[in-house]
Amino acid sequence: MRDAGLQGRLADFTLEEILQLIALQQKTGLLTVEASYPMFLAFDSGMLVAFRDRRRAGVDPLEDFLKRYGFFEVTAWESVEFVQGNSRLDLTEILVNETMLTAEELEKVQFDSAQEDIFRGMQLRDGRYHFTPGPEALSGLKGRVRFKVDGLLMEAVRRIDEIPGLRETFFSNDLTLRRSDLEIDITERSPTEQKLLRLLGKENALGVLVANGRMSEFDTLSYLRQLVTDDIVELQSRARPQPKAAAKASRLAGRQTRYSRRPHLVSALAIAATAAALFFQPFSIYRDAADSESAGYQYRQDRDRASLVAAIELYSLQHERPPVSLEDLRHDGWVDRSTLNRGLKQFEYVLDGSRWTLDERTRS
């Protein structure tokens, strides 16, 4: 990304792709998204260091998360608002100073809130983004964090894949859930499940459970689904089953919509799958760094191609034409020298008018 910054439409370049590039190239700066769900994301060397910018007017994602999921009573929020109105303390400082959260609990809540922020942002398709590079853009930010972008992306992709299934089961916030009549020792369940069961009581509405679960809606629904599967919780009514053919077509359409926008860009999920293969094959990947059959070689090649393709796309958006050669990416600062050198050895870049291809070189 150049000093002038990067800007464009989410219809052309999704938040997922932008975050992949920022993480891969270890960028520092502020990303703003103007959309139905506005976002402010700050990065330091590719790490997410802030997802709230209280220098600007608007909803605080952390405060919204805490209120949305019932972390504190109304009287507690009145105390917070009083301190905010009579001091320059950030919400994160108030929560700890007023012993509403411990430092460890605050870090966990900030991570969960950031995850929710990324999850919601990745579903945006209309809006504009602007990345302002440089450490100066981060001056004055409070409530800083330090989270790895790739982990947030992979979890967001998982949630996007699973939320339709959860919503098929929990089809309305008015749905009533009740404890089953089976004699079950709930002390063997996880602490979170026990908390939900206490909140449920004998019977309660889904919307009430979500609004008081002290965790994201996705997490609450996931835990409830497991409790339903284990016959500990029952649904009082069920949705009319969707025909199998229609359900399958709907799922396929959703996947095509999500991934057909940029089929040549390696998705976070694909890279995650390759990384998982590396994790579960700790010995075979080291047999030969140049062995094209090894999982390690394939992972590095996919990673380098993802970085180059994203850089070509962004160069094209900035200049309204593709680069003449991969060297142009280096000259503009889109990729570093080591990535470029590996790319020149592994791939052949061909430009034909306004169309381009990046194919693996034939190995002798």
Name residue 190's amino acid. S
169 pLDDT tier (thresholds 50, 70, 90): very high
Half-sphere exposure at residue 55, Cβ-oriented, CA atoms within 13 angstroms: 14
- Helix, strand or coil, per DSSP, at residue 262: coil
- Helix, strand or coil, per DSSP, at residue 183: coil
**CB-count exposure of residue 125 (10 Å: 0-12, 13-18, 19+):** middle
DSSP letters for 36-67? SS-EEEEEETTEEEES--TTSSS--HHHHHHH
End-to-end CA distance of the chain: 35
- Whether 19 contacts 148, CB under 8 Å: no
Cα 356–Cα 357–Cα 358 angle in degrees, nearest 5: 135
Sign of CA dihedral 195, 197, 199, 205: positive
Helices (H), 170-294: 191-200, 206-211, 217-229, 244-259, 268-280
Cα 61–Cα 64–Cα 68 angle in degrees, nearest 5: 140
Summary mean pLDDT of the chain = 82
Mean pLDDT of 65-71: 97
Q: What is the pLDDT of residue 197?
A: 93
Of 41-55, 287-301, 349-363, the least confident: 287-301
Report domain extents, the chain: 6-146, 172-235, 265-360
Q: What is the pLDDT of residue 302?
A: 75
- Whether 84 contacts 120, CB under 8 Å: no
Q: List, in sequence order, every residue forming a beta bridge with 204; answer none if it has no partner.
A: 177
Question: Which residues, including other chains, have CB under 8 Å from residue 280's CB and lie 6 or more apart?
Answer: none
Question: Which residues, including other chains, have CB under 8 Å from residue 81's CB and lie 6 or more apart?
Answer: none
Residue whose token pair is 């990303």:
31
Give the separation between CA 149 and CA 155, rounded to whole angstroms. Answer: 10
Give the separation between CA 159 and CA 118, rounded to whole angstroms. Answer: 11
- Whether 359 contacts 308, CB under 8 Å: no
Sign of CA dihedral 47, 153, 333, 315: negative
Q: What is the pLDDT of residue 54?
A: 74
Q: What is the pLDDT of residue 61?
A: 94
Of 9-23, 126-140, 166-180, 306-320, the least confident: 306-320
Q: Tokens standing for 281?
A: 């094959």
Mean pLDDT of 153-177: 93
Q: What is the pLDDT of residue 271?
A: 42
Tens of pLDDT, residue by residue over 185-233, are 888 899 999 999 999 987 799 999 999 999 999 999 999 999 999 999 9
Tens of pLDDT, residue by residue over 238-248, are 544 455 544 54
